[in-house]
Amino acid sequence: MMIAASTPIADVVALALGVAVIVGLYLLPTLIAFQRERPHKAGVLVINVFFGWTFLGWVISLAMACWSRPSPSVVPQGAAPSGWYPDPTSGSHRWWNGCEWGPPT
């Protein structure tokens, strides 16, 4: 059985591809944090770069990048407070929670 010899260019391409994949996986938490516009993306970057070589550092930075943040509930100024209000479409009342209408009663 004969093994085909690889060319030096093929070896360089394979090495470059392998390094790119490893670096991409290593920096995955940072890429996720920047793509998701995390407020603490600089912290994820620092932990990932300096402590990512330890598996625990990589997992912590990945958790920070993927952690779901609660969406801010901002009530526009002048919005009506929560309560029951007349529904102009049906004549009954509907609950307004300060942001959106509840189901009709």
Structural domain count of the chain: 1
Q: Please check whether residue 105 lies inside any domain of the structure.
A: no
Say if 59 falls within a structural domain: yes
Q: Which domain holds residue 24?
A: 12-66
Instruction: Measure the CA–CA gap between 34 and 48, rounded to whole angstroms.
Output: 12
Q: pLDDT tens across 81-98, in order? A: 788 888 767 778 888 787
In-domain check, residue 78: no
What is the overall mean pLDDT for the chain?
84
**pLDDT confidence bin for 70, thresholds 50/70/90:** low
Question: Residue 17 phi/psi, 5° resolution?
Answer: -65, -45
42 is a domain residue: yes
Among residues of the chain, what percentage have pLDDT more than 90?
Answer: 50
Q: Are residues 48 and 27 in contact, defined by beta-carbon separation less than 8 angstroms?
A: yes
Q: Which long-range contacts (CB under 8 A, 24 or more apart) does 75-82 make?
A: 75/99
What digits encode the pLDDT tens for the residues 11-33?
Answer: 999 999 999 999 999 999 999 99
